[in-house]
Amino acid sequence: MTIIETAKMNGLDPQAYLADILTRIHDHKINRLDELLPWNWSPLTTALPEAA
């Protein structure tokens, strides 16, 4: 099974998933790579500034 199919089976958008993990993997700790697997993955969220 491909990583694309695995992402789909876990209800993820494969393009968004791959784009995110490819930007994060280079500085991700090796002992935490399981966080990037499709069944554990959650996208990074950026905090939006609050309206003044």
pLDDT by 10s per residue, the chain, length 52: 899 999 999 999 999 999 999 999 999 899 999 999 999 999 876 555 666 5
Q: How far is CA 16 from CA 20, 29, 30, 33, in A?
A: 6, 21, 22, 18
Sequence length of the chain is: 52
The domains of the chain are located at: 3-35
How far is it, in rounded angstroms, from Cα 47 to Cα 21? 19
Output DSSP code: residue 12: -
Please state whether the predicted TM-score (pTM) of the whole model is above 0.85.
Answer: no
N-term to C-term CA, the chain: 49
